[in-house]
Structure 1
Amino acid sequence: MTLPLKSTADLSARLQELHARTRETPLFNPVFQLGLDLSRALEAGSTDLDALEALVEELECSGVEARAKRLQRLVAPVTPEANHSALSEALSATSDFEDFRKAWESPRLHAVFTAHPTFLLTPVQTAAVAEAASTDAPVTRSVCTPHSERPEITLDYEHGEVSKALANAQDARAQIVRDTLTHAASKWPDKWLDLDPLPFRFATWVGYDMDGRTDIKWYTSIRFRLSEKAERLRRFADDLAQIDADHEIVETLRAGSDHAARSAEDFAGDLSEPEALSQAANRLTYDHPDKLTSLAAIIERLENEARLAEDSEQAIALKTLASCMRADGLGMGHIHFRVNAKQLHNAIRSRLTDQPNLDLASKGAMAALRTLLARIEPMRTNFASLAIESSTAIRQFLAMAQILEHIDADTPIRMLIAECEQPSTILAALYFARAFGIEDMVDVSPLFETESALEHGGRFLDALCAEDQYRNYVRLRGRACIQTGFSDAGRFVGQIPASLAIERLQGRFAQAMAKNDLTDVAALIFNTHGESMGRGAHPGGFEERLTWPMSAWARDRFARSEIELEPEVSFQGGDGYLFFARPELALATLTRIACAPRHDPKAAKDPFYDRTDLSLDFYRAIRADQRRHLRSATYSRAVTAFGLGLLNSTGSRVSRRQSDISADRDMNLRQIRAIPHNSILQQLGYPVNVISGIGSAADGNYEDLASLIESSRRGRQLMGLARASNALASIKTVAAHGELFNSAYWASRPYRGTEPHLSAACETLAEFLTKDDRTGVYRRLASRLRVDALKFHRLLDLLPAESRDSERENTRRMIGAAQSVRLALMQHIFLKAVSVPVFSRANDVSREDVLEMVFSLRIDEALAQMRRAFPTHFPEPGDFAMDAPADYPDASSEGYAQIGRDFIDPIERAYALMLRLSVSIANQFGAHG
């Protein structure tokens, strides 16, 4: 070793030195070699876990700083003054009042705050990132590393975090509304009072999403909605008190807040017993004078008072508050319930008593459902109906009915249907909405995310829009709603082909609506994506972020048919909430969105859509490459080789199904949800679902494709996403993980007496791993990725070069350093695990099983078995008050305590450091998963 390795600067310099050696030895792996350098130092005693922890702390701070800089870059400028100026410029772009009114009275965006498992950072780290992004404050080591304070991510924790994010979003929107009204009052003093700005709507599905979950009770959803109502009414009261402290409605709002809070407490306990539920329900349904179920009268009064106000500042404040009430209703935002199509199918079959085995994909099913819809009469329901109902899907409709009747009668509710691939599923949902009398307040929205749904979605929408029952329903609601998802689509189709497939589906939706005379209703399209490149968020800034999931071409399809478009996106979990972690960030985020162009017809005229001979083949070839990976046992084994052991727990939703030890080897990718899948790719070093396939798709047609991409805004956007991902990727890192399981490596490591103290452990590892498949798996995957990458870079060489800033190079080095330190820690864990004595008091503990747990990074389970095998506390003769003397046994637990100190405790500490490095790597990528 030529350099000391005591700081990240040392690691970075050593990596550069090692990279130079790849010119003479192409197969040389700098990342693995640096990991070996650190491992040798650790095992020789020239460094220790304390010193490695110091390196981990530096890498953590580097990751937090990178996260803050990325956030700041995406939303800049951040200062309130700069955003006030930017908004003023956008407001001044329209000189005609009616045009201005049309532009600002309909939402620029619907934003949905979801709770996908991305709560990676501790609260202190989140605050540090937000402060640094807002104020350029330095990130100190004291805030980078408080890992003992990582909270348990429960559903209640997630709900608390979404409420904080929504509160900051609401305040930022109020500022934008206030600026809009102030501008209008100045420019159109005789007309501005007729303006009702509504630049954003907010929603959440935290606590209402039942797709893939069984841990959310129906009364949990009721409690959350009541607590949201209490908080929003309190905030409304505080806002009105700032305008007029003596206003009588202040007390009305506060009393309503207190009433909702008491009801939320009633629904916080276990309501499985009839008596407990009856008491809670009756207190909620009682016509109490403080119970508010509508803000309509209050909004009307505030609007009237604004018209009569002599002070324009007070009039603006009153109208701003009325606008916020109109936007949110009696909650922190709108709510989205979500169920799976299968749950709806099971529910509707109970109504098809004459044809219980009817194929719901058949025309006969559509006819049967039409008949059911035509005959159904609304039924009254109460909370006992909810308690008795066993079907998850029906229960959600019953819960919506109770919310609309007893909590908030003004605010419509979305019903999202996952894995919805048949028009009959929508009719089934309409049946239950009509059956419970809420058809006029529920927006049923199918989700298109699977490969099959995206491929056949156009025909689905054609058939659905041709249905009289559906057309009548969407006219009643004033909008037709669909949802397109980028998580599972990005995982199973690949992010770039998924985006293009979703774009085509959106165009087919516009076509189906126009063909079936539905141009008189709006099209609400919810594009659910996350903050990472693997989940559909473009890293190029907010304008790119908005046009990536819904391109100018797709928007133009609706504009041509004169269909009003209501775009909607999600901000997912801890990653997405960062944009709203502070008031300054929330205002900057919403200002970037408000100032972005809504629709540019010129941008829709893109050669990418004219040269379908190139672009369509490009799409198909990338999709085929992604499909080969998904169907490949090599790819599946590589992604699942460590299970979820590289990841921290980041949400209340389970990341994978349970399986036994042997099942890890054959784990199917579908057992891992989309976000953990993408996160594992980040941790392994290469976002396969973003980059892979582009090079192979260009093979043989480089010049023509490069010319098309260079001349096409959409093409440049596609390549921008891939380039940003490639700038963080390392195929050498993927290969390095496989070398951990290379029997020849372990057999050769102490060769020629270099590390004689490791000879026994290395020999045991070499023997145990002779039949392990993971070295070959990672080598094969790395080879496939390398061949594709060579072609990808050949395409990039024909495109205008991107500037390579020092920050990007530093990011790559920090990721490489983190990977190397983690590889050293993994080797330390392996060596300690095989050095644990074979003897055990617990004879049913298999050493082979424990080692397999370790190699699959099921460390917590392995540690539990080791501690069971080598307990440090067990009964001794002195614990018993025996009259008769005894000489046996005379052994103490000291021997086992030493095993704990020398082997078990170091494994636990090394693994904790590994997980901290996983956070650092995710921060360098900019998101978890």
Structure 2
Amino acid sequence: MKSVSELSERLQELHRRTEETPLFNPVFQLAHDLSRDLEAGEMSLDDFEAIVAELEVASLKERATRLECMVAPLDEQANENALADSFGNGDFAAFQKRWESPSLHAVFTAHPTFLLTPDQSAAVADAASGKGEIGDNVVGTDRPQVTLAYEHQRAMRAIANAQDARSAIVSQVLAHARETWPDQWAKLNPVPFRFASWVGYDMDGRTDITWSNSIGFRLSEKAERLQRYVAALEEIDADHPLLGELRPAALYAIERAQDFTSDLTDPAALSVAANRLTASDPRKLLSLKKFIDALDSEAAESDDAKRAVALKTLAASMRADGLGMGWIHFRVNAKQLHNAIRRRIDPDGNLDLASKGAVVHLRRAIAKVKPHRSNFGSLAIEASTAIRQFLAMAQILQHIDADTPIRMLIAECEEPATVLAAVYFAKLFGIEDKVDVSPLFETETALEHGGRFLDELLAEEVYRDYARKRGRIAIQTGFSDAGRFVGQIPASLAIERLQGRLSEAMEANGLTEVNALIFNTHGESMGRGAHPTKMADRLDWPLSPWAKRRFARAGITLEPEVSFQGGDGYLWYATPELARATLTRIACLRPAETDTDAPVDVFYRRTDLSLDFYRAIKDHQREHLESRIYSRAITAFGLGLLNSTGSRVSRRQSDISADRDMNLRQIRAIPHNAILQQLGYPVNVIAGIGEAAEGNYEEIGELLQESARGRELVRLVRAANALASVKTVAAYGELFNSAYWASRPYRGTEQHLSMACENLSEYLVKDDRVGVFRRLASRLRVDAMKLHRLLDHIPDEAPTANREDKRRMIGVAQSLRLALMQAMFIRAVSVPVFSRANDVSRDDVLEMVFTLRIDDALAQLRRAYPRTFPRISRFDLTEAADWPDGADEGYEAIHRDYIDPIERAYSLSLRLSTAIANIFGAHG
């Protein structure tokens, strides 16, 4: 069994044995077969690596196929035709209204979602774009360290492709308008998409981003965007008079960006960089208004159609992006804002910010506050993270880009006083007319009480005045923590109800004249708010037609916003072809619009069924969350099943012995979702659906089938369930089964492993993980049986392509990894006993291996067994010595037989993690 096809065939054969023995586990049995072959010398780690490489290539091809299917067609002419077909036959006013309001704001976010190496990303993108095949040259290479600078560079590359694709769309829109309405077309100022990023500006959950990083990034974005404007104008006219100002402005921005790449902790160095940026300079550009006006005027007067359209297209880019690659999103945590505001209005700490009294205090403070001037010295010495962010925004607006608004996202925002605190600081530093304060609703508490929150916030006159000044109310709904703590299905339904409550609150408080900007931030995988079946579902899932109709009927202009997260999410824009296809699909689907006359979806009309269904799923998910069994299973391997995929840490710090007591709060939402898929079952998508329908399968099935929203829900569940395996969950528990290890050398087999198996069996007698995984698997199995009963009543609209092939591919990968983990266990327990050093014992090292903290375990083993010892020949001594009397070889044999194989086996297991994630469609 030395190829994927042979292993797949063997797994299929083993699956048939479950008909005879229902408890038989084919995934673990194949792992056992592989482990026996490896320990007997019939297979080597080289053989394993060859199979792993074959799986990796196949999984990358699977990802490329899925990507292509989601955005197809990719042919340029086909996309032009699709866009042309969407223009319709309306009048100019309707056409203008459609294209001058963004169909979508796209935010290029980061976090730990850079699963693929640069070469793998490029290969997937090229394959999806029809530019080449994926070969084995992109697997088995070193993974680059994912730094903040790397994340930012990748984000800017994706945004650049998105900008070019948007320009192509704008150009076609303008050309159509010029041909159709020759006397009116020049009035058209299309902004079909806006782009933004929080990479380098998101301070929630991290302390490694300095204010100078943020300023430096913004300056580098300004420099890059100005150079792109210059290139675009040169292509129109290499001698255009506006180039005389744009070229020097670009060079000036480059120089200032370089100033802020150096170490600015020294006040003298900061003073030099800051004074250069704040000084008057003829090359310094803070607004593009005059350039936009000049380009529009020239286009209107030009008789050259191609030139006129090109000039208007460039003006549209400037209007959309300003002096940067896009808008920027700063983000802080509500607690950081609370600490900051107390310094201003409650220095004694007596005020409860959740109280009505806090709102009264803030209302008065906002009314009285006078703008304060600030400079880079103010920024450098400010200790409060939240205030520092407002100071940074003030400097950006004053010295980098005076026109482009900035978003202030507030994580874990559960009280109106938190938003008012942000408004206070925006006014304190004179930037309230350029900053959109956006509370994030993601926790169960925030979603449950979000309607009350919005009612109270919008009832405040100081907030209404602020919103009218900005022209929009901005909120953020998050699917990561919501999917973790509420479950993905209940979270999506709770979020859409919250969105509906926003429309009601805006209407009730006379705010229908301002826009509603709803940022639905989610990841790229099915467990984090991204629907995997088609682009229409991906756009509807976070902002449903029902929610959109609530705004449309109230006369409120909606600005939908979604995230494309991390390196894996950037694949949508990894090539010009993919970017054009992605934006064309979105433009044709028109996610900002809806049919106000559409009949009421039965899912919302039959609330006697749908609400009970929702609550039952939510209760089931909560039971998992609160269950010691679930928590222990999910954290059984810590984060050892996952590659490092981002610059933000995925786990909070803990000591060596803390893994056994790790809880879900110590693992962030993204890795939690990834672990579920690595263990073989997306609990936060599937669990509870079957149980919620128990006893009412026919009626619930009919409801879901008749409802467009219900069918969308079922498509998500089916996509996850198609790849899920309860047997795989149970297989991971068998690694800790003392009886299994005691039985391996039974009846004279594998006698060379008898001591290692005996030691493992003895050590694992006290381990709880086998029981934990068995109990979790039993609960998942019962719920899955009920789910299948429900799905029998609902036709499968979008069956997963090549479902069985994908399932077997995942099964083979899981079996290979289980075999590699067994190899690690055997070698770890076979290492000779060493004395306790630095409070780390041999049992500690074993526990590190069992929880896949392999790097930590190897560090301890290498310290206990060095390859070389200090040589006495290094000393220049006159006195003779007979000791040491042997060759100074160190513990080379222990490294060869135990330490190095553990390291290699773990490296291969992480490569399998990438393959499994690719097949699942997981990101990060």
Same fold (TM over 0.5): yes
Q: Does 1:621 align with 2:616?
A: yes
Q: State the shift of 1:837 in Å.
A: 1.1
Q: Distance in 1 between matches of 2:828 and 2:729?
A: 24
| Aligned match for 1:15, one of 8, 11, 14 | 11
Secondary structure of 1:46's counterpart equals coil
Tell me whether 1:130 sits opposite 2:153 in the alignment: no
8 Å CA contact 1:445, 1:483 repeated in 2: yes
Alpha-carbon displacement from aligned partner over 1:900-924 (angstroms, at most 9, x marks no partner): 0111000000000000000000000
Alignment check: 8 A CA contact 1:230 1:258 kept: yes
Could you list the per-position Cα deviations for residues 313-333 of structure 1 after superposition, in whole angstroms to 9, with x for gaps in the alignment?
100000000000000000000
Query: Deviation digits for residues 850-895 of structure 1, max 9, x if unmatched?
Result: 0000000000000010010000122122222222111111233436
Q: How far apart, in 1, do the equivalents of 2:854 and 2:755 lie?
A: 22
Is residue 332 from structure 1 mapped to residue 325 from structure 2 by the alignment?
yes
Report SS of the residue matched to 1:351: helix
Structure 2: which 5+ runs fail to align?
Answer: none
Partner deviation per Cα, 1:751-793 (whole Å, 9 max, x = no partner): 0011111101000000010000000000000000000000000
In the alignment, does 2:891 pair up with 1:926? no
1:509 corresponds in structure 2 to: 502
Shift of 1:306: 0.8
2:291 paired with 1:292: no
Matched residue, 1:121: 116
- Partner residue of 1:673 out of 668, 671, 683: 668
Aligned partner of 2:29 in structure 1 is: 33
Distance 1:766 1:354 in 2: 59
Correspondence 1:87 to 2:80: no
**CA distance in 2 between partners of 1:408 and 1:320 (Å):** 21
Name the structure 2 match of 1:786: 781
2:652 is paired with a residue of what secondary structure? coil
Equivalent residue, structure 2, for 1:485:
478
- Look up the match of 1:630: 625
* 1:546 matched residue in structure 2: 539
The answer for the alignment partner of 1:147 in structure 2 is: 141
| Structure 1 segment 454-853 matched on structure 2, within 5 A | 454-597=447-590, 598-601=593-596, 603=598, 605-801=600-796, 807-839=802-834, 845-853=840-848
Match of 2:66 in 1: 70
Specify the alignment match of 2:878 in structure 1. 883
1:385, 1:434 → 2: CA distance?
Answer: 16
Indicate the residue corresponding to 1:433 in structure 2: 426
Matched-pair contact (CA < 8 Å) for 1:845–1:869: no
After superposing the two structures, state which structure 1 stretch, 351-360 or 449-458, moved more: 351-360
User: Are 2:651 and 2:668, in contact at CA under 8 Å, matched by a contact in 1?
Assistant: yes
- For 1:425 and 1:604, the matched residues in 2 are separated by 39
Matched, 1:267 2:263: no
Q: Distance in 2 between matches of 1:472 and 1:94?
A: 39
In 1, the alpha carbon distance for the partners of 2:642 and 2:347 equals 50
Counterpart of 2:242 in 1: which secondary structure?
helix
Does residue 320 (structure 1) correspond to residue 317 (structure 2)? The answer is no
Partner of 1:192: 185
For residues 184 and 799 of structure 2, what CA distance do their matches in structure 1 show?
52
Name which of 216, 221, 228 aligns with 1:223. Answer: 216
Given the alignment of the two structures, is residue 232 of structure 1 paired with residue 225 of structure 2, yes or no?
Answer: yes
Report SS of the residue matched to 2:651.
coil
* Shift in Å, 1:264: 1.1
Q: Return the alpha-carbon distance in structure 2 between the equivalents of residues 179 and 134 of structure 1.
A: 22
> Quick check: 2:523–2:923 contact (8 Å CA) kept in 1?
no
Contact in 1 for aligned 2:115/2:567 (Cα 8 Å): yes
Q: 2:384 is matched with which residue?
A: 391
Structure 1 equivalent of residue 340 of structure 2? 347
Q: Is the 8 A contact 1:841 1:870 kept in 2?
A: no
Q: Which moved more, 1:244-253 or 1:274-283?
A: 244-253
CA RMSD of aligned residues (A): 1.2
**Which string of whole-angstrom CA distances, capped at 9 and with x for unpartnered residues, describes residues 280-299 of structure 1?**
10000001111101000111
Give 3-state SS (helix, strand or coil) of 1:440's partner. Answer: coil
Q: Is this contact kept in 2: 1:238–1:250, CA < 8 A?
A: no
**Stretches of structure 1 lacking an aligned partner (at least 5 in a row):** none
Structure 1 stretch displaced more, 558-567 or 351-360: 351-360
Cα distance in 2, alignment partners of residues 621 and 157 from structure 1: 43
Of 96, 106, 111, 2:106 maps to: 111
The answer to whether the 8 Å contact 1:11/1:817 transfers is: yes
| 2:53 corresponds to 1:60 | no
Counterparts of residues 161-172 of structure 1 (less than 5 Å): 161-172=154-165
Equivalences, count: 922
Which range moved further: 227-236 or 94-103?
94-103
The answer on whether the counterparts of 2:868 and 2:890 sit within 8 Å (CA) in structure 1 is: no
Which letter maps to 1:399?
A
CA distance in 2, matches of 1:366, 1:838: 63
- What SS does structure 2 have at the residue aligned with 1:65? helix
Distance 1:840 1:668 in 2: 31
Q: Is the 8 A contact 2:869 2:890 kept in 1?
A: no
CA deviation digits over 1:258-295, x for unaligned, max 9? 11111111111221221111111000000111110100
Deviation readout 1:189-228 (Å, 9 max, x if unpaired): 1111111111000000000001111100001100000000
8 Å Cα contact 2:408-2:438 kept in structure 1: yes
Give how far 1:744 is off: 0.3
What letter is aligned with 2:333?
A: N
CA distance in 2, matches of 1:755, 1:206: 53
Counterpart Cα distance in 2 of 1:803 and 1:679: 24
Tell me how far apart the structure 1 counterparts of residues 796 and 895 of structure 2 sit (CA, whole Å).
Answer: 55
TM-fit CA distance, 1:13: 0.4
Specify the code of the residue in structure 1 equivalent to 2:49.
E
Report if aligned partners of 1:872, 1:893 keep a CA contact under 8 Å in 2: no
Give the distance between the partners of 2:571 and 2:498, measured in 1 at CA.
30
Q: Distance in 2 between matches of 1:567 and 1:392?
A: 29
Following superposition, the deviation at residue 356 of structure 1 comes to 3.0
Secondary structure, counterpart of 2:802 in structure 1 = helix
How far apart are the structure 1 equivalents of 2:392 and 2:838? 52
Residue in structure 1 matching 2:20, options 24, 29, 32: 24
Contact 2:836–2:842 under 8 Å retained in 1: no
**What does residue range 888-903 of structure 1 map to in structure 2 within 5 Å?**
888-894=883-889, 896-903=891-898
SS in 1 for 2:221: helix
Kept in 1: contact 2:722–2:800 (CA 8 A): no
Whole-Å Cα distance in 1 between the matches of residues 715 and 149 of structure 2? Answer: 38
Match of 1:113, SS? strand
Find the aligned partners of 1:631 and 1:640 in 2 and give their Cα distance.
14
Q: Is the contact made by 1:418 and 1:446 (CA closer than 8 Å) also made in structure 2?
A: yes
For residues 226 and 425 of structure 1, the distance between their equivalents in structure 2, rounded to whole angstroms, comes to 30
What SS class does the counterpart of residue 135 from structure 1 fall into? coil
CA distance in 1, matches of 2:112, 2:439: 22
Question: Does the 8 A contact of 1:553 with 1:604 survive in 2?
Answer: no
Query: For the residues of structure 2 that align with 1:809 and 1:246, how far apart are their CA atoms?
Result: 61
3-state SS in 2 of match to 1:439: coil
Query: Where do residues 351-370 of structure 1 align in structure 2 (5 Å cutoff)?
Result: 351-353=344-346, 356-370=349-363
CA distance, structure 2, for counterparts of residue 77 and residue 310 of structure 1: 34
| Structure 1 residues 68-127: Cα deviation after superposition (integer angstroms, max 9, x where no partner) | 001001111111111111111112x14211000001110000000001211010111000
**CA, structure 1 residues 783+841, in 2 after alignment: closer, same or farther (shift >3 Å)?**
closer
Give the Cα separation in 2 of the matches to 1:699 and 1:245: 70
Identity rate, percent: 68
Q: Which amino acid aligns with 1:490?
A: G
* Partner residue of 1:906 out of 892, 901, 907: 901
Between the aligned partners of 1:911 and 1:69, the Cα distance in structure 2 is: 29
